[in-house]
Amino acid sequence: MSDLSHVTMRLGGYYAPEEARAWLHAPHPQLGGERPVDLVQEGRTEEVTAILDRLDADAYL
């Protein structure tokens, strides 16, 4: 499974497909304003999954 597919699947636990797509393509404050999709494509998936891990743990920052 590709990293982007994995991230998208995890987002599906929180968002409708359109919302997940928007989340991936919007600048994210926890990523210094970078877009999650860009980080995944650059091989920096760990930074994106760290946010999802915090969501899983109900640790909203």
Per-residue pLDDT of the chain (61 residues), as tens digits, is: 699 999 999 999 999 999 999 999 999 999 999 999 999 999 999 999 999 999 888 755 5
- Record the pTM: 0.87
User: Where do the domains of the chain lie?
Assistant: 3-56
Task: Report the 3 state secondary structure along 1-61.
Answer: CCHHHHHHHHHCCCCCHHHHHHHHHCCCHHHCCCCHHHHHHCCCHHHHHHHHHHHHCCCCC
